[in-house]
Amino acid sequence: PPSPAGDVVVSYSNDGINFVDASLFSFIVPATVSSLEPKSGSKRGGTEIHIFGDGFTDHDGWKCLFNRVSVPIVFSSPSEIRCLAPASFDKVSSLNLLEPDGSVIETGFNFKYYEDLQLVYLLPELSPTSGGTTIAIKLRGLQVDSHYACVFHNGVEASAVMLNNSFVECITPRWDMPEETTLAVKSMDSSTAIVSESMAFVFYQHPTISSASPSSFYSGFSTDIVVHGGTFLNSPHSKCRLGQHEVQSLWISDTEIMCRYAGRYIEPNSSD
């Protein structure tokens, strides 16, 4: 007769009144799977998958079956088991259960494999400590249906906006003090985060300017303007402006820079 899972005693009686216990009999309810988390992970493998359902037993020999590759299962409870996703070249793999007797329980669930994120470059590589700088980051392995975040070395995160299948943008947070740190990008769609390699990133203090000389010069003549102040960075991105026009800057020290005016403004796309 139908019965919940568990052990019962098998008894026998010749007269229907006096029963003699024979042995234990186990009712087994077939295992069922209702959900799994996460549903995706790195192609390198190693993502821990939590499988939820009913009827799981603490018996040796249970395995997760990814297409034709089987991996051991760790029993947590009758309603939860765990296994580690193997490495794979497939983009999607069926995920079924292999019982100790070799029977396959089809779950109806798939596991999606992602390419590892590869950080190509970021621009700019620095931000003032006040934050608010938009960083453009080029990566390989982005998935158009995923969500990402920028991660700094101390765990501070900033949400990233995906521009296309190669670029994301994030806005730097406020930082406590000037510091050389690192920046990486991670996927937000997996409990086992898929994180890119990190690149160097600098938070700097806003420069201060105390003086500039000369204070005037003849229009049309080239002139070097020496600017004094503090916390000037020796950065390839540093620039001077005369009004709304950008001119070349030359770093001399953290307290002195030179703005080089060539006698006329050179447009960025000029061939001269």
Are 95 and 66 contacting, i.e. CB atoms less than 8 angstroms apart?
yes
pLDDT band of 13, cuts 50, 70, 90: low
Backbone angles phi, psi at 100, to 5 degrees: -55, -30
pLDDT band of 3, cuts 50, 70, 90: low
pLDDT band of 162, cuts 50, 70, 90: very high
> Residue 193 pLDDT > 70, yes or no?
no
Least Cα distance to 236 among 145, 123, 134, 159 occurs for 123
> Residue 266 pLDDT > 50, yes or no?
no
Q: What pLDDT score was predicted for residue 267? A: 45
Place of tokens 């796309």: 269
Are 187 and 193 contacting, i.e. CB atoms less than 8 angstroms apart?
yes
> Residue 270 pLDDT > 70, yes or no?
no
> Residue 85 pLDDT > 80, yes or no?
yes
Kindly state the average pLDDT of the residues 177-200.
81
Q: Edge-to-edge, what's the strand order for the sheet holding 69-72? A: 40-42, 104-114, 92-98, 63-66, 69-72
Kindly state the average pLDDT of the residues 59-87.
92
Query: Tens digits of per-residue pLDDT, 237-259?
Result: 888 988 888 888 999 999 999 99
Kindly state the average pLDDT of the residues 67-88.
93
User: How far is C-alpha 10 from the chain's CA centre?
Assistant: 56
Question: pTM for the complete prediction?
Answer: 0.58
Are 51 and 82 contacting, i.e. CB atoms less than 8 angstroms apart?
yes
Kindly state the average pLDDT of the residues 41-63.
88
Helix (H, G, I), strand (E, B) or coil at 155: coil
Query: Tens digits of per-residue pLDDT, 106-153?
Result: 999 999 888 778 899 999 999 999 999 999 999 988 877 788 999 998
Q: What pLDDT score was predicted for residue 247? A: 86
